[in-house]
Structure 1
Amino acid sequence: MSFRPDVDLATLEWVAEEVRSTMKDALRELQGYKITGDNVALHNTANFLHQIGGTLQMVQLDAVGRFVQELEQVATEKELEIDQAKLSDVLSEGIKEIGLALDRVTIGRPEPPAYRLAVINNLRELRGEPEFYGSEFFLPVLDALPELPAGEALSEEDYIAAIKNQRLTFQKSLLAWLKGGDIQVLTPALSVAEFVLSISRFSYATRMWWVACAYLEILIASEGVVEHQHRIILRRLDDLLRELGQHGESAMLRDPEIDLLKSMLFEIGRVEPKTSLANKVSSFYLLEQFFNEPVDSAGSEDQLYDRETLIELEKSVVVEVASIQQLMTRYFDGDGIEGELLDSLLPMIQKLSDSAKALKVKPLSELSKSVGMVLARVREGKLDSSETLALHLAAALLFLEQALSGRVVPDEEWEKRAAAKTSQFKGLVDGRELGHVGKDEVSALERVQLLDVVSQAVDQTLSELERDLESFSKDPVSLNILSDIASKFDHVRGVLQILGEQRASLLLT
């Protein structure tokens, strides 16, 4: 069963890319606010969050969208008594969670309700709002209906009379419990649920009371802590009995009480050990995938990481990766990288390597480490920040970004590509030269993204060429313009050659 919304994968991936791009913009503004305290930057952050929320709403990612709303409300709250550094950190942590949630949805994984709960409640505490419990973000797939035997065929009049009679028993049991009685006083309430299930004929009704029986079983089998959410659920079951006693079983066709169903499934999913019936319900709705992390079998048996590990790694370094990408774009300005920029880059690369090592993701740890070694040599003046080096570093960063998105399987081919990139950078440190970025060294998506990055620099150079040619046409005597034109053509041709686009580069020869 896939836990993606009812949207095709291509659209979902496009939306995810759009959101990730906007996340980077939000993080950039947030970093500016943290440093300067400029409320304009905070306002821009809120606008970016609003944009993300609208995009998520478009593809029906309601739980993630609701989380984004919490972030936006904090960013726009004017009465918060909190310093800018703490506010920035809280919002940054929240934005990281957006990326993690998107990655899980994109690969069809369920979203554990507790994943963002701590962050959400921190946000609500800042605004003086009550905490969420967790079921608000629980989204099981309820499309399938359990195949249960139809209940005894009663006339509507007999059904209503039976429900009214059973409700009295349910209310007495509930009242005894609410007054502080032992949890076992709810046993008659369970008997009521079992009886209603036995006379239910409509699929929505049988589903509801099947789940209600499992819920009451685990509640009675528990130690009997009177928690607020159980009071709410039991009172809502009583309300449902009232509706059935007034309008008959058809009341559930008008309102299948999905929120009540989800609340009971949430309690069933989070409790261990379960009763036999609760296990059946849990298995049918795949609840273990929401409350226990699934194991990914990708890769070899001795591999210590999987896609979930990569997603967890992304969560810890998303700010660094976004910042690294922004800083690396200066490579394409033609002036190389100044020392101050490298001083910012190197600690970020080191954190990425250390985080990957801590999670035992050796290919990414080694690749990040080799990138750091190369940048350190550039900082020391032992390597030139050439265009060739820039493109290889850009390709490496795109590889890292794709790996951290959780949408790739870390298989043998993936490891080979990581090892090839690492070997190239280590070879450069040892004095070997870099060649062009081979097509076998990048995935199709990475290559498209790399071309997109490079095209921005090439477009700028081509625009300058167009202006120069126009200037020369107006002033043919100024031959110095031609020398600038030649150097710019060489620049574009060199970029194409490094990318292995030999035919395109020949057009400029």
Structure 2
Amino acid sequence: MGNHHDSIALDWVRGEIQDTLTQSQHALEAYVENRDDTARLRFCLNYLHQVHGTLQMVELDGAALLTEEMEALTQAVLDGQVANADEAIEVLMQGVLQLPQYLEHLDSSGDDFPLVLLPLLNDLRAARGANLLSDTSLFKPDLSPAQQPADAGASARLQDPKVAGHLRKLRQMYQFALAGVVREADLNTHFDYMQKVVERLARLCRKTPRGELWKAAGAFVETLQAHANPINTAVKSLLRELDAEIRLLMADNSDALAQPVPEALFKHLLYYVARARDLDTPQVRALRDAYRLDEALPSEDDVDHARTRVSGPGRDAIHSVVTALDEELARLKDQLDLFVRAETRQNSELEELLPSLRQVANTLGVIGLGTPRKVVSEQVELLERLSAQADTVDDGTLMDIAGALLYVEASLAGLDKDRHPEQGQDGDDNEPVNLSARELTEASEALVRESRNTLEQVKSSIVNFIASQWDTREIDHVPGLLYSIRGGLSLVPLPRVADMLAAAERYVTDVLLGSKQVPDWKQLDTLADAITSIEYYLERLAEGISNNDAILHVAEESLENLGFPVGQEPTWTDTQAEEQPQPETSETEAPVEAPSETDASKDTSGSDAELLDDEILEIFVEEAGEVLETINQYYPQLRQNHDDSTALTEVRRAFHTLKGSGRLVGASSIGELAWSVENLLNRVIDQTVKPTDDMFSLIDEVNERIPSLIQEFRHGEANGDVEALIARAEALATTRKTETAETLQTETAEATAGQETSAASVHETDDFPDAEPDTESETEYEPEPEPQATTEPAQEQETGDASADHDDLIDDEILEIFIEEAGEVLETIREYLPMLLRHHDDRSALTEVRRAFHTLKGSGRMVGANVIGELAWSVENMLNRVIDGSIFMNDDIARLLEEVTENVPGLVEDFEKRTAPRLDTSSLEARANALANGEIPDATLMPEPETESVPSQEATSASTGSLPEVEEELDPVLLEIFENETETHLQTIDEYLEQAGDRHSVAYTDSLSRALHTLKGSANTAGIKPIATVITPLEHFVKEARAQNKRYWD
């Protein structure tokens, strides 16, 4: 909250201030009537000056600032320096009238925060042409902790040459991280680096004013990491100012630590930390407590609430309005009483009450009493209907109207007696409500009494509902009754009870009225327990009995058992809806189903119309329509704002639902097209692909095509040709967009794994600031395009030079950061890898493990730990292939992950000790590259020099029709094994060809590639060279086609 003040000092001077303000108001009014009488305006100026001096004396900063601006504007009017004198005088009068209300607010709350007055202050400044104030200019935290003198020997720290070297490296790392933040690329990684630098600077500057600055900077960076503050131009400017502070430490190594903190920068850092109210880390919490940030920057709700009180009518005005309303309500009750007692009644006579009631409703709205106003408005509507009907109005209805007017009268009595009902709303709604009769005002007692009477009506209605064999007409009005009760109880305030009634209201509406199901007795007993508990609580409250919280717990548990927990989303589901097939059940199978689109095609090729009855078809069409509505709602938001995570999630979920329901009913074209888009959006969500114009262009076309596909399926027509759209989606999902890239991939695919690794080691390691690639390049899953055999010697030399440069740059501080980060990465891997090994389809664990190796790659390359960095890159690249669906998680990948995880700590230790790596990682990298290309590692690592070197000449032989002769002597055991295995693999190939059928194109599957690869290896092992010679180029072709997303018959 704001600065908290004792109201005693204000009480001493408040009367004098009020009198002086009244005199200034009269003087200003006299000037308005006669603009030539400037003496009156000078009197007004003198009165305001007196008030300003008094407020400064009692240290009411917000009120004093308001009078200071009023003085300045009055002087500007006197000097003729305002553009519009009429506007200026109007704003000045507004300030004179609003200051007493602000002082009234101070008297009741004791909190003085100028933010409440910010709109009025800016109006005053704008009237005289001054610059406007921002909330940061009114942000005044307690800076005393940062104003303590530095320790005596602190300045000597910067004179150490080693420290100067560390500062240079730290600034270099900070600038590297800052560049990434400015580009908004890979923010998590760059914020991690930035945080590590700031932590070390805070340790270096400990027990000095500059140490407090870096503590604030650390908390500020934490708020950015947690997305509690936006990364906008102002934030980037502050981060650049922090870079300048590091430069200051490097340039002035004598007394920099003894200098005071730069107040403007420091306050801005604290301001952003204060804004992050939902962030509660130890660092942020410590800073918030030390500088009393919650008091310096009140919440928006607190400010809005205070502004409402300050800008609303004062006590005297409220008293006058309430008195007038009481008189009007008394007259209306008398009129109603006379109508009831009359021997002959004419319904048209009720119209005489309507004008006065409408006036009462409008007045209640002006003074902010929403619930009483709603009650009066309901009576107006009721009287309009009654006056128009032919039947005589019964006494019961008229008594209900009189009771409503009594309720309004009681509410006004409570408001006039003490205007503090809102104070109770500041507390936690979940805290036990322990009010007694003495604490209840007259209005509160009336509310509780009426609420108990209405609950009796609710119970009677439910009894009638049961007796009438579930006739819902008996309970149609129950939601309205419950709504009227909770509206009143919110004013008492009893917000917890009001929330319970809201849950009960929703149960009656959704279950008893909405679902049209016959409730069981257990449900009705539970509902009765909830209502009875609330009624009993109100009864005990009216009798002055405290400690009633246990009774409310019974009501809460009852409502939770009904599926409508208090203050939360309902957990109840319509059992009829649950009986329908739910497409969501296929969610975990989605990655596995993607390549098997031929299955759906085969199963539904000619019998869709026979298998589907009209009811299932209508369910699918209806659900597809709902899905399209969701897409039409959220997709334009995503197209406009690519960072709208909510819209992205909703659009992805919509395509997921469409995929599941389409596959479920055999609409294979719709299902597979939806899956291709869902897979693409999955890649966007896990940040391995960035949204592009090509992607949105594709989704535009898909959205246009789906309605016609639905209609075609509904009328039993052949599935539309969507293969081109699916192919485009798959190409975008694997970031292969151009024919040039495909050609380059084909040219480089035959390079050995060792060459790829060597070239990758050279890539992006030349210079420290540029060591980390951009996000776009990181997410490309292609092998690095640079490798060329002819330039390898030069590259090796360049690598050596780069390594030497890096060795020169690495000092203990930077090394410590890398070691610490590597430890954190390994902890993450050890946490999530077991989950992934247990469940290969755990996408969350897969994403975390991939992200960990990505971080290890970046930090390893940055500090020159190339062995670690390139090993991590090979694993990351392999996991990228798993994420994009090019390969599937399997036991070979799992074993490789375990081996790499076991060996990384030793490699880190070797790098820390500057010794040669204890392990040659080329075999691990080769296995990772092989697995990433869809190969079987056991076969990949087998010595096959003859087989791999033969294709060119043997292929030539094959093309001329002559194959090498089979070796005369074959091992009979190996031959028998080969024959048995061949039958299985040939069956797999036949199944693929059969599934392909007459389709225009179909994707090459993992099972086909595996069958060809194993068949080739078995043939080589058995010594049957002709078969190996035929299979080798075929396997190579399928592998390349899968890598480039080419399809069968393309």
- The whole-number CA distance in structure 2 between the counterparts of 1:124 and 1:183 is 43
Q: TM-score, normalised by structure 1?
A: 0.51
Among 156, 167, 170, the alignment partner of 1:166 is: 170
The one-character-per-residue Cα deviations of 1:386-445 (angstroms, maximum 9, x if unpaired) are: xxxxxxxxxxxxx88x989x9xxx9987987999xxxxxxxxxxxxxxxxxxxxxxxxxx
Q: CA deviation at 1:173?
A: 4.6
- Separation in structure 1 between the aligned mates of residue 245 and residue 85 of structure 2, nearest angstrom: 47
Matches within 5 A, 1:95-106: 95=96, 98-99=99-100, 101-102=102-103
User: In the alignment, which residue of structure 2 is the partner of 1:436?
Assistant: none
SS at 2:242 equivalent: helix
* 1:202 CA displacement: 0.6
- Contact residue 31 and residue 41 of structure 2 kept, 8 A: yes
SS at match of 2:205: coil
Task: Supply the distance in 1 between the matched residues of 2:186 and 2:63 (Cα, whole angstroms).
Answer: 36
**Counterpart residue number, 1:123:** 124
User: Residue type matched to 1:3 in 2?
Assistant: N
Structure 1 CA distance for aligned equivalents of residues 233 and 176 of structure 2 = 19
Residue in 2 aligned with 1:269?
Answer: 274
The superposition leaves residues 60-116 of structure 1 with CA deviations (integer Å, 9 ceiling, x where unpaired) of 4445433432232222222323252x4344224434554455456566755556422
Distance 1:132 1:264 in 2: 18
Query: Aligned partner of 1:366: which letter?
Result: A
1:119 shift after superposition: 2.1
Aligned to 1:27: 25
**Secondary structure at 1:317's aligned position in 2?**
coil
AA aligned opposite 2:26: R
In 2, the alpha carbon distance for the partners of 1:63 and 1:236 equals: 30
Measured against aligned partners, the alpha-carbon deviations of 1:188-207 in whole angstroms (never above 9, x if no partner) come to: 44332222123332164443
Structure 1 partner of 2:223: 218
Residues 412, 269 of structure 1: CA spacing in aligned structure 2 closer, same or farther, 3 A cutoff? farther
In structure 2, relative to structure 1, the CA distance for the partners of 1:23 and 1:283 (3 Å cut) is same
Question: Which of residues 11, 14, 17 is equivalent to 2:12?
Answer: 14
Q: Which amino acid aligns with 2:47?
A: F
- 1:50-61 correspondence runs (5 A): 50-61=49-60
Correspondence for 2:70: 71
Aligned letter for 2:196? S
Q: Which ranges in structure 1 are unaligned for 5 or more consecutive residues?
A: 296-307, 325-346, 370-398, 420-509
Counterpart amino acid of residue 132 in structure 1: L
Deviates more, 1:30-39 or 1:187-196: 30-39
Which stretch has the larger CA shift, 46-55 or 355-364?
355-364
TM-superposed CA distance for 1:25, in Å, is: 3.0
Residue 138 of structure 2 aligns with which residue?
137
Secondary structure, aligned partner of 2:3: coil
Partner of residue 696, structure 2:
none
Deviations 1:116-167 (A, max 9, x none): 222222233333333322111112344568xxxx9xx983423555445434
Distance in 2 (CA, whole Å) between partners of 1:187 and 1:137 is 32
Question: Contact 1:49 / 1:68 at 8 angstroms: preserved in 2?
Answer: yes
* Distance across 2 between alignment mates of 1:41 and 1:224: 50
Counterpart residue number, 2:83: 81
Q: Flag the 1:294–1:82 CA change in 2: closer, same or farther, 3 A.
A: closer
Q: Which residue of 2 aligns with 1:292?
A: 299
Between the aligned partners of 2:242 and 2:256, the Cα distance in structure 1 is: 14
Per the alignment, residue 1010 of structure 2 pairs with none
- The CA distance in 1 between the partners of 2:235 and 2:170, in whole Å, is 20
Question: Structure 1: how far apart are the matches of 2:66 and 2:186?
Answer: 35
Instruction: Give the aligned partner of residue 305 of structure 1.
Output: none
Q: Aligned to 1:115, what secondary structure does the other structure show? A: helix
User: Residue 414 of structure 2 contacts residue 441 of structure 2 at CA under 8 Å; is this kept in 1?
Assistant: no
Matched to 1:4, the amino acid is: H
Q: Aligned equivalents of 1:315 and 1:76: distance in 2?
A: 25
For the residues of structure 2 that align with 1:28 and 1:103, how far apart are their CA atoms?
21
The equivalent residue for 1:90 is: 91
Give the whole-Å Cα distance in 2 for the aligned partners of 1:172 and 1:50: 54
Give 2:205's aligned residue: 200
1:27 counterpart SS class = helix
Call closer, same or farther: CA 1:368–1:133 in 2, change over 3 Å: closer
Asked whether the equivalents of residues 313 and 356 of structure 1 are also in contact (C-alpha less than 8 Å), the reply is no
Q: Deviations over 1:244-271 (max 9, x none)?
A: 4455696455414444333222222224
Correspondent of 2:196 among 185, 191, 198: 191
2:505 aligned residue:
none
1:34, CA displacement in angstroms? 4.6
Kept in 2: contact 1:113–1:135 (CA 8 A):
no
| Amino acid paired to 1:230 | V
Are the structure 2 counterparts of residues 32 and 143 from structure 1 closer, same or farther at C-alpha, using a change threshold of 3 Å? same
Question: Amino acid of the residue matched to residue 67 of structure 2?
Answer: V
Is contact 2:27-2:40 (8 Å) kept? Answer: yes
For structure 1, which segment, 356-365 or 192-201, has the greater mean C-alpha deviation from structure 2 after superposition? Answer: 356-365
- For residue 317 of structure 1, the aligned residue among 309, 313, 316 is 313
2: CA distance, partners of 1:228 / 1:160: 31
Amino-acid identity (%): 21
| Distance in 1 (alpha carbons) for counterparts of 2:215 and 2:288 | 12
CA–CA distance in structure 2, aligned partners of residues 4 and 315 of structure 1: 21
Q: Tell me the alpha carbon deviations over residues 282-339 of structure 1, each in whole angstroms, 9 at most, x when there is no partner.
A: 46555445332789xxxxxxxxxxxx97985454224965998xxxxxxxxxxxxxxx
Q: Structure 2 vs 1, CA of residues 274 and 224 (structure 1 numbering), >3 Å: closer, same or farther?
A: closer
Structure 1 residue 240, shift from structure 2 partner? 3.6
CA contact (8 A) 2:105 2:309 kept: no
Instruction: Report the residue type matching 1:43 in the other structure.
Output: R
- Distance between the aligned counterparts of 1:109 and 1:40, measured in 2? 37
CA distance in structure 2 between the partners assigned to 1:416 and 1:224 by the alignment: 43
Unaligned runs of 5+ residues in structure 2 are 321-358, 373-407, 424-434, 445-1050
Q: 1:250-269, aligned counterparts within 5 Å?
A: 251=256, 253-269=258-274
Q: Relative contact order (alpha carbons < 8 A, sep ≥ 6): 1 or 2 greater?
A: 1
CA distance in 2, matches of 1:362, 1:207: 57
Letter in 2 for 1:80: V
CA RMSD in angstroms comes to 5.2
> For residue 137 of structure 2, what is the amino acid of its counterpart?
E
The answer to whether the 8 Å contact 1:205/1:249 transfers is: no
- Contact 1:4 1:105 survives alignment (8 Å): no
Distance 1:183 1:47 in 2: 60
Query: Match for 1:292: what amino acid?
Result: S
C-alpha distance in 2 between matches for 1:416 and 1:216: 49
In structure 2, what is the Cα distance between the partners aligned to 1:252 and 1:98?
44
The CA distance in 2 between the partners of 1:211 and 1:362, in whole Å, is 54
Distance in structure 2 (CA, Å) of the matches to 1:228 and 1:49: 40
Task: Please give the alpha-carbon distance, in whole angstroms, between the structure 2 residues aligned to 1:14 and 1:411.
Answer: 34
Distance (whole Å) between structure 2 residues aligned to residue 203 and residue 255 of structure 1:
9
Structure 2 CA distance for partners of 1:411 and 1:11, relative to 1, 3 Å:
farther
Counterpart of 1:274 in 2: which secondary structure?
coil
The CA distance in 2 between the partners of 1:98 and 1:359, in whole Å, is 29
| Cα pair 2:116 2:307 within 8 Å, conserved | no
Which residue matches 1:475? none
Residues 1:355 and 2:367 aligned together: yes
Contact kept, 8 Å, 2:7 with 2:106, in 1: the verdict is no
Q: Which amino acid aligns with 2:21?
A: M
Is the partner of 2:9 in helix, strand or coil? helix
- Structure-2-length-normalised TM-score: 0.27
Are the structure 2 counterparts of residues 231 and 143 from structure 1 closer, same or farther at C-alpha, using a change threshold of 3 Å?
same
The answer as to whether partners of 1:310 and 1:403 remain within 8 angstroms in 2 is no
- The residue identity in structure 2 corresponding to 1:278 is V
Change (3 A) 1:203 1:323: farther
- Equivalent residue for 2:413, pick from 351, 366, 387: 366
